[in-house]
């Protein structure tokens, strides 16, 4: 039984289409809630991980700024920024730092007021006008981040016969879970007919294939493998992999780094695919969890869409996925990684009121980031207390 660390606290705050508050206010609120959930005081925290970003914490040195705002001093900071997966990677790095004795209790915070700030549009995060990769990527008018996802979806349809119905099934699956979650932002019913009638944005992707643009904050507390709290979720395996940054460097849009991180993290955890009771897979667009289900080994190559359409990921299915509603229906404050982990923690603790999966023992939280589609990947394997 390999235990790398424990997640002892988890919290969300400010989840709203517009919270009307700044990112650092939401960060402080969610930090306090996560620390309290861990049974700690803010003064107990000696490591801090937070993502820097234009619509996140506004300053250019977010760790000392947030530490100061929280009134804490720390012996470890991490500002890893590789896209939406970043907080998952920060949790993996925190486990290593704790094991190395650099610190004992790391607070991993993500906070964004992008919707309130109106800094995020369909065109994605702003990049400098003279950024040569951006110039090359956008010269033909492909919108980001949806464009690379649409290209992946079109290729999946061409190679494997995936259909619009397969894509829509992911949105329907997420929505069914969201309807069980009072905290989810999109809770109105979504039928397959509704989904298929959704307007095209970047074909083959339609509006219902896209995550929301919301505010929100999430935080977890990572402590040592020796923690004995009855609510401490075990961090059992972690792996990260970074391939291309640009869509212009992708060899194969349908094979992400998840084909490496999934097996590596499960092996470290001493677990197999069959042990996994729930998955939380990044769903910025519906094609992404389809590819991830295949790349991680939960579905046959090319059959991820059918796996979802068959109901496997929906309430009552054999592999519940995105059980809080995912980025399509729960929230999506720019980077969703921390929320994948928070929901896995709640399910493994048996605290997912209204949507609790019966006794899941092992959860996989997998995040995707990088610059285009499938660039930076990380898998976290968690086990019940």
Partner 1 sequence: MTGQETVGGQDLSGLRPLPVTVCPSCQAAYAYYRAVCTRCGTTTEKRELLLAGHVYSAATVHRPSAGFEPWTPYTVALVVCDLGPRVLAMTASTQIDDRVVVGLAALGQANVPFAFPCPPGDLS
Q: Which of 51, 85, 152, 363 binds partner 1 (CB under 8 A)?
A: 152
Residue 255 and residue 375: Cα distance in Å, rounded?
10
DSSP 28: H
Instruction: Classify 181 as helix, strand or coil.
Output: coil
The distance of closest approach from Cβ of residue 137 to partner 1 in the complex, given in angstroms and rounded to an integer, is 6
Which tokens go with 84? Answer: 């939406």
Q: Which of 99, 122, 126, 192 binds partner 1 (CB under 8 A)?
A: 122
* Contact flag: residue 302 with partner 1 (CB under 8 A): no
Residue 228 and residue 256: Cα distance in Å, rounded?
36
Q: Which of 52, 102, 127, 138 binds partner 1 (CB under 8 A)?
A: 138
Say which residue the tokens 């976290």 belong to: 380
Residue 385 and residue 366: Cα distance in Å, rounded?
20
* Smaller CB separation from partner 1, 16 or 164: 164
Which tokens go with 104? Answer: 């004992």
Residues 6+ apart with CB under 8 A from 140: none
- The bridge status of strand 376-383 relative to strand 233-242 is antiparallel
Asked whether the beta carbons of 15 and 215 are under 8 A apart, the reply is yes
Q: Which of 158, 188, 230, 358 binds partner 1 (CB under 8 A)?
A: 158
Q: Which of 71, 128, 141, 316 binds partner 1 (CB under 8 A)?
A: 141
What residues between 227 and 246 interact with partner 1 by CB under 8 A?
A: 246
* Contact flag: residue 137 with partner 1 (CB under 8 A): yes
Q: Which of 1, 71, 101, 132 binds partner 1 (CB under 8 A)?
A: 132
Q: Which of 21, 79, 143, 194 binds partner 1 (CB under 8 A)?
A: 143
CA angle (88 as vertex; 86, 90 as ends), nearest 5: 70
Residues 6+ apart with CB under 8 A from 193: none
* Smaller CB separation from partner 1, 147 or 360: 147
* Contact flag: residue 27 with partner 1 (CB under 8 A): no
Which region among 137-145, 303-311, 322-330, 338-346 touches partner 1 (by CB under 8 A)?
137-145
* Smaller CB separation from partner 1, 99 or 248: 248
Site residues for partner 1 per CB under 8 A: 122-123, 132-133, 135-143, 147, 150-155, 158, 199-205, 246-250, 253
């Amino acid at each position: 039984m390999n235990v790398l660390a424990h997640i002892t606290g988890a919290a969300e705050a400010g989840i709203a289409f517009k919270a009307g508050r700044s990112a650092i206010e939401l960060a402080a609120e969610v930090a306090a809630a996560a620390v309290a959930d861990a049974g700690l005081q803010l003064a107990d925290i000696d490591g801090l991980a937070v993502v820097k970003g234009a619509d996140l914490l506004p300053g250019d040195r977010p760790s000392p700024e947030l530490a100061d705002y929280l009134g804490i001093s720390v012996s470890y900071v991490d500002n890893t920024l590789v896209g939406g997966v970043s907080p998952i990677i920060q949790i993996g790095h925190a486990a290593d730092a704790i094991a190395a004795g650099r610190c004992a209790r790391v607070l991993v915070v993500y906070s964004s007021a992008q919707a309130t700030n109106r800094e995020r549009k369909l065109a994605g995060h702003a990049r400098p006008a003279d950024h040569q990769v951006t110039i090359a990527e956008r010269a033909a008018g492909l919108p980001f981040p949806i464009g690379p996802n649409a290209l992946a979806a079109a290729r999946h349809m061409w190679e494997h016969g995936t259909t619009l119905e397969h894509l829509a099934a992911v949105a329907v699956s997420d929505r069914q879970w969201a309807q069980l979650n009072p905290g989810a932002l999109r809770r109105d019913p979504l039928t397959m007919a509704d989904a298929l009638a959704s307007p095209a944005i970047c074909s083959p992707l339609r509006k219902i294939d896209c995550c929301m643009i919301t505010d929100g904050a999430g935080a977890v507390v990572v402590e040592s493998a020796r923690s004995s709290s009855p609510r401490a979720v075990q961090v059992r395996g972690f792996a990260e992999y970074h391939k291309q940054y640009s869509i212009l460097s992708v060899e194969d849009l349908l094979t992400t780094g998840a084909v490496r991180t999934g097996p590596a993290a499960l092996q470290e955890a001493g677990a197999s695919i069959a042990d996994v009771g729930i998955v939380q897979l990044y769903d910025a667009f519906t094609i992404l969890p389809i590819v991830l289900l295949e790349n991680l080994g939960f579905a046959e190559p090319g059959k991820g869409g059918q796996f979802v359409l068959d109901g496997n990921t929906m309430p009552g299915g054999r592999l519940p996925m995105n059980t809080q509603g995912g980025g399509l229906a729960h929230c999506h404050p720019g980077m969703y990684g921390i929320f994948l982990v928070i929901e896995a923690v709640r399910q493994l603790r048996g605290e997912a009121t209204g949507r609790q999966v019966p006794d899941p023992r092992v959860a996989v939280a997998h995040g995707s980031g990088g610059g285009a589609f499938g660039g930076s990947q990380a898998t976290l394997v968690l086990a019940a207390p």
